[in-house]
Structures are given as structure tokens and as C-alpha cells.
Structure 1
């Protein structure tokens, strides 16, 4: 399949070193090319206290690797002619009518000016003016106080979306790029348009057709102890990435698998709520690489996938002045619908191919597809935040170095 086996084996040694140095509790990787598995390795533990191995069937929190799934769901509705991407969000969630945005340099929530309602396309590309609570602005502070990050809990995404709409945007839609809860809000759009809950729509239209039996918003019944523990090197909240404070234990338990809210999730976070196994997510990645088809089922047309995996910004992400947390360079990188697109590997300072499409999750998971080289890669671990170590560019360099034809 065009790989040098000795160089592929470097992947395993690299992963083992992360575990040996107590950077990650455990990890797994799958590399596929031309639709066939070229390499798999797992190491370490999914639950340190219980002494359980990080195996192939270990179930993890994929956090923001949920976003490409929700983006695909939106595009299945667009393909049916149910709405255009330029439709305003208020067509689906009336609470987002008559929006306001912070004025430049605002330090308070009342320093605002009227602005347009963001469109579906702007939500898909993180140019909507929405934000995250871990960013640094008055809206982020209010989101944190009101717990508006669509985390697992008793509220529904409909309730959280309406509460979020009462806050101003952090900038006028289309003027900047900022990583945000926009894809969570789009999960509510899927519900409104389809008439089904987001978990049901995912199961019916994406997971069942692709054979993804181990992916859901709640830890599936019968998975026993396969659900991994989540760890963090931080002293406090592992999601507080703006000013991280490392603690004495590089693998402090953050979310115990038997006590996790992912067993009872009510808020189906389209931006970060799924749990999955590495083989299940590879099925999704391969569907993207194959132009919308997998397991004998067609999810999207090849032309729609081509459209999604193009850069939808006017240039690099860096050209739009992002201020949000990110663990990889924004130079040389654009953004499609639900994932990043490599525009120039040199400017991105990471070996790769122009057109590489992928994204990662807060617990340091990562995937990308390279349609030029018919390559799909999925990497799983469970350490938050994902900015803790430079594993993503290191992983890409290792895979690229092993591909010799």
C-alpha cells in the first residue's frame, strides 16, 4: 500500500513513548489506505486505577470530532432542497431574530450594536459571531456563568440554544473566524427541519447506514467497562484552556467512566457530545474519503463532499483574526464545512497534502483524510485539553514519513 513497514512501526514507538512519559494514559491509531488497513497500534491504559488496557474496542469521548458528523447531517438536509446555506438562523430558531454584536474593544455585555442574523453557512464555518466559554470576551464569561456550552446535563439543545440567543454575538457575522458552539446550534436546526431528535437523526441517517453501532450521545448499554476514563495534566478545570495551570499529576482523573454524565446525556451536543470507538469513527472518515459512500450506503453525493472539503473562507483562518484557543497553526489552513482544510503545508508547518481535511477533539483525539493519497487516519486517546502536547503535527509527520509511494 505504499508504506515502508519499518517507518510505520515508528508510530508505535512514538505512542509508547507518550505513555511511558505519562503524557497520555493510553492511545490507539488506525491508518488506512485505498480502503484497506495499513497499520494499527494501541498501548497504555483506558482506566489506570482499574488497570484496563486501551484496546481497539475502547470507547472514548470524541468531543469536537462530533462537529463533522453534524455538518454532514446538515448537508443531507441541504441535498433534499429543504433550505439553502444562506438561510438565516432565525428561520429555524426564532430566538435568534434581531441580533446584536459586541462593538470592537467591548468590555461589557451592553456595549453592542445591531447586526445581521448569522446564516447556516456562517455557523458551519465558525464565522457566525458565536463563541465558546473558554474564549476571552464578555460573552464567553456570561456563557460560562450560565453553562451554555451544550455539555451533558438535563437541559435539551433547544433550551440551551434559546438561552444562548439572549446573549450578543462577539462580532458581526462574516467579519471574523472564532471557534464556537455554532455546530451545537446547528444540531438544533437538524431537529427542527427533520422533526427528529438529533440522536435519532444521526442513528437513522448516518450511523445505521455506515454500520457505526458503537457511536452515540450516551455510552451504549452493554459496553461494560470499555468506556475510558478522562485525564488531565491541569490543576483545575481541564476545559479552562485560556490560562492553563499544570498540576503535580500529569494524569489526574477528570471524568471517571462509571460516574460520567455520558451515561445519562440529555443535551445532544452536535459540537462535542459523541462517544465512539476507533473502528466506528474510521467508518465515518472513510465515508468522507470515498465521497459520501460507505458500507454499501450513500450518505452524501461526491459533489457535496467536494463542496464541503473546499476552503470556504476568503483565505487562511489566520486572515480572519481568530482569537480562540487552537492547538495547531492557523496559517496555511482554511476551513470547510465541519473541518479544517490544508491550503499550504509549508505555512502550516506540518507535513501533509494540499486538501487534507480533518479535525480533532478536546481529549486529544484527531483524524484526517487525504483524498489525493487515498489515506485516512484516526487517533484516539483521552487527555484534556488537546493543547497539552504537539501530538497532532507529530502524528502527521510520522505518517507522511512512512508513505514512500
Structure 2
């Protein structure tokens, strides 16, 4: 359930009940602080907002998986990422890291926020200095790395992870586990994606998300054990059935297409998530990729 966001956990911006803990509608003092800034485990130790195992609710599932992995192994999350993923896949410290190390810091770029209330188009982007909690070693008692996000790094580093998924790299998982992880887990459990996927409780962080990728059929999405949305029918941007993808909060989007053996990642460094113009850009890029792929294949047949 944690791998597919069906454990009932929610973020403050993805469900109104969770939002009440951080921004009480009656004007009272918040019950929780933003855990991605504080690193406090107690700040994402919140009540479930739905019955576990019944529906998709986007929330702190990955963060809890990170806490459990640390407790099970005795290693900090940064070391686990290095041992399990980065080292086997040849990812350099300058490409991806859970800590903002000297190897990465010089390349760090600011996150911007689209300000729809500004009357001037030239002033529609405001810089923000929001910074994820991170440490080089084991966080002190009561704190944890925010496993749901983010990694510091570049698209080249993350592309190596997508390539490993495409080839079902045995350095990461065995073939049987990869095969299982690619499948739509919701189909066998009788779970349907909610529509909308969620309505935002914090427009600064996220717009409403009606569906992750527009499908050519109703209810054309599921979730797999890689915490990705699976296309159970072709998407309107051209991705085939069986492809899957997910995103980062600052409008970073990626997909893996095992049918055609390709993948893609697009990074934008912009709040709020699922900004309509960002989604339009993502879909145009995907459409262009598949038009080019179709053209190349047509040329080979000719």
C-alpha cells in the first residue's frame, strides 16, 4: 500500500483533512510544521485520511518507506541510496545525491513560483528559497531524510535510473520482481484511480490534478509498485498501454515505455505542481517523441 499510495496517508496540499493540520480553516495555530523543511518525523506522523487499501491518496508513503529502510538496515538514507542505486548504476556524486554536497551545490538553480495575481506578465515568477531538510550523515533522533523528495542532481543522473528500469537491471532487482513491479497493481486489487486524482489544498504547491496523463479511454490509469501511474490504454500524448510515469513537485516529469524501449525526463523548477502550461509542455514533448519515433519507423519500412 505504501508503494502505491493506498495506505491512506496524505500531504497537506493533496487532501483537505491533512491540510487542516497545517493550515486550520478556523484560524487557529497549526498542529504540524512542514516536514520537508523541519525534517521532523512527527510532522508527517498524521492520521490516515482514507481507509487503507481502498483508494489512491497522494501522501507521505515514500517518507515512511525511507524511515522503515533506515530502521531495518541501520544505515542512513543517503548511504542506502548510494549502496542500492547510485554505486551499482555508476551514478556520480555530482549527478545525484540526497545531500546538497559541494559536488552539486555550484550547479543548484532556484525554484520559481508562478504568481497568477500579478498584473505584469514580466513579474509572474517569484524566486523562493525553500530548502529540503538534508544532512551528510545520520539525522539526529526524531529527524529523517524526506524520502519522498528530493534528490539533488541533474537530468543525466536521473536518466541512468530510467535506463536501469528499462533494462530491468539485475543489479537492482531480479527479473521476477521487475516483471511484477511493471504491472498495474490496482487492476488485481479492484482499485480505481479517483477522479480528480486530487484537488489541491495549497495552490502555492500544486494545482488540481484531474488525472496524471490524459487517456484515450475512461479510467485508463492504474499504479504499479514503482510508484508510477500506469497507462492501461494509449495516452493522448502518444504513450502506449503499459508505459508508466510519475513526477516531482516542481514540475519534473518522467516516463518509461518498455514497449518501445524509451524513456524521458523533463525538469522545470517551477511551482505550483501540475501548472497547466507545464503539463501542456510535457504533453507536447511526449507527442513529439512519438511522432518522431513513428516517422523513423515509417522511413525504415520505406
TM-score range, shorter chain: 0.7 to 0.9
Cα 1:263/1:201, change in 2 over 3 Å = closer
Cα 1:371/1:261, change in 2 over 3 Å = closer
1:115-167 CA deviation, whole Å, 9 max, x = no partner? xxxxxxx11111111111013423322045344553143x35xx33xx544x3
Cα 1:148/1:212, change in 2 over 3 Å = farther
Establish whether residue 393 from structure 1 lines up as the match of residue 283 from structure 2.
Answer: yes
Between the aligned partners of 1:143 and 1:195, the Cα distance in structure 2 is 31
| Residue ranges of structure 2 left out of the alignment (5+ in a row) | 24-29, 200-207, 298-302
Establish whether residue 225 from structure 1 lines up as the match of residue 114 from structure 2.
Answer: no
Q: CA deviation at 1:400?
A: 0.8
Per the alignment, residue 13 of structure 1 pairs with none
1:342-375 CA deviation, whole Å, 9 max, x = no partner? 1112xx4331111112211111111111111110
Establish whether residue 286 from structure 1 lines up as the match of residue 163 from structure 2.
Answer: yes
User: What count of residue pairs does the alignment treat as equivalent?
Assistant: 260
- Among candidates 176, 187, 190, match of residue 55 of structure 2: 176
1:205-248 CA deviation, whole Å, 9 max, x = no partner? 1111111122112222133531111111136xxxxxxxxx5674
Q: TM-score, normalization: structure 1? A: 0.59
Cα 1:262/1:138, change in 2 over 3 Å = closer
Task: Determine if contact 1:176/1:322 at 8 Å carries over to the other structure.
Answer: no
Task: Determine if contact 1:149/1:181 at 8 Å carries over to the other structure.
Answer: no
Between the aligned partners of 2:181 and 2:33, the Cα distance in structure 1 is 27
- Give the structure with the larger strand fraction: 1
Between the aligned partners of 2:288 and 2:13, the Cα distance in structure 1 is 31
| Residue ranges of structure 1 left out of the alignment (5+ in a row) | 1-121, 236-244
Between the aligned partners of 1:152 and 1:273, the Cα distance in structure 2 is 11
Greater length-normalized contact order (CA 8 Å, ≥ 6 residues apart):
1
Between the aligned partners of 1:246 and 1:270, the Cα distance in structure 2 is 34
Per the alignment, residue 71 of structure 2 pairs with 192
Q: TM-score, normalization: structure 2? A: 0.77
